[in-house]
């Protein structure tokens, strides 16, 4: 049975409601409840981990008699597991809802399967309504579910001969203003910005995302990885967000902890050693290489050892975009074969 005009409008509204919820460990989800006559009688959205899911939030605003024979329109398949809250699929069944329309299947092994549960209970269940819009809404969260960790972007700036700094260690600025502005826009779109202690000690970066002299409204969490202590007067300690420090070389453990904190997009910007470590570990999902038309020579390479001993082991990339930025050029690339973590 195809969705009615009222149901399509309800999905559009549910997608807008979902944006009220926070990005993080859980997906942004919206829900609208329609009466048997197709009128909106309740709305809801998920307000974060541990709070009622969107469907239950909407149902809570109705009496039992109002939900009998109603239609629930939800941006994500109602869940089928008990975590900090109960299964939404069962809540809809218990409420007496007769029809459920949702946009996307839940990809979780534990949480998915709500549609089957509801169909088995006799509900009319339809999927796919505005699925492209729903996928775009929670694309970062879906990526985390696929990879089992946050999406990692590794960025560096280099001369045409592959150097990240001059022989004396100076690197500001290899690229021009347009490239640097692009970096800050991408920082602002990330949840966390990661550097090594070497970068903190050498450059004392603030790790903020700036639009000219002003801070972007959204600031990534600053993350410092390495055994050496960060000085008390370091600029990163004055960041608008509380910085995180990891005294470890276990990058997978760092990403796991960041995921538990709700981080979905990680922006690695801190030095050749750290960038090379992420790439060598197979943890770079996107590479941003800013190429400046300068020659530096010397040994300060943009990357160090990434585990390639012979050309047959070269880490092949697919370039998705070549983006001119003033006099500079940005290559946006990804590994030719992305390996999902089992």
> Catalytic residues, which ones?
55
Strands 328-335 and 286-292: antiparallel
Sheet holding 192-196, edge to edge: 244-246, 221-225, 192-196, 265-270, 151-159, 286-292, 328-335, 317-325
Round to whole Å and give the CA distance between 301 and 303: 5
Q: Is the dihedral of CA 322, 255, 257, 145 positive or negative?
A: positive
Tokens matching residue 102: 């949702």
Tokens matching residue 141: 């969260």
- Collapsing DSSP to helix, strand or coil, 53 comes out as coil
In angstroms, how far is the first alpha carbon of the chain from the final one? 37
Tokens matching residue 55: 């469907």
DSSP state of 311: G
* Cβ atoms < 10 Å from Cβ of 140: 19
Round to whole Å and give the CA distance between 97 and 237: 52
Q: Please, are residues 9 and 16 in contact by the beta-carbon 8 Å criterion?
A: no
Q: Residue holding tokens 């990058």?
A: 251
The length of the chain in residues reads 342
210 Cβ neighbours under 8 A, 6+ residues apart: 184, 216
């Amino acid at each position: 049975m195809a969705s009615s005009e009222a149901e399509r409008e309800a999905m559009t509204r549910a997608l807008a409601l979902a944006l009220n919820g926070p990005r993080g460990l859980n997906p942004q989800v919206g829900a609208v409840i329609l009466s048997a006559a197709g009128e909106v009688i309740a709305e809801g959205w998920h307000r974060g981990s541990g709070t009622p899911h969107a469907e239950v939030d909407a149902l809570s605003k109705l009496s039992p008699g109002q939900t009998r024979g109603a239609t629930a329109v939800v941006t994500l398949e109602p869940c089928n597991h008990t975590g900090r809250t109960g299964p939404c699929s069962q809540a809809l069944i218990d409420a007496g809802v007769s029809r459920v329309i949702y946009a996307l299947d839940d990809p979780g092994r534990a949480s998915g399967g709500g549609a089957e549960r509801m169909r088995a209970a006799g509900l009319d269940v339809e999927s796919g309504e505005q699925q492209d819009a729903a996928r775009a809404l929670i694309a970062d969260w879906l990526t985390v579910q696929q990879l089992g960790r946050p999406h990692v972007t590794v960025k560096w700036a280099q001369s045409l001969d592959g150097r990240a700094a001059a022989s004396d260690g100076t690197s500001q600025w290899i690229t021009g203003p347009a490239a640097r502005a692009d970096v800050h826009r991408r920082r602002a779109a990330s949840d966390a910005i990661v550097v090594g202690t070497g970068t903190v000690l050498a450059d004392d970066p603030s790790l903020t995302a700036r639009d000219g002299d002003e801070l972007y409204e959204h600031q990534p969490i600053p993350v410092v990885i390495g055994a050496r202590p960060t000085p008390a007067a370091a600029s990163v300690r004055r960041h608008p967000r509380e910085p995180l420090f990891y005294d470890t070389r276990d990058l997978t453990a760092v990403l796991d902890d960041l995921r538990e904190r709700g981080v979905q997009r990680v922006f690695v910007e801190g030095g050749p050693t750290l960038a090379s470590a992420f790439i060598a570990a197979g943890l770079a999902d996107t590479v941003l290489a800013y190429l400046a038309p300068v020659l530096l020579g010397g040994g300060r390479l943009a990357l160090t050892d990434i585990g390639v001993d012979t050309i047959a082991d070269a880490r092949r990339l697919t370039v998705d975009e070549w983006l001119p930025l003033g006099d500079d050029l940005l290559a946006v690339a990804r590994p030719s074969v992305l390996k999902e973590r089992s």
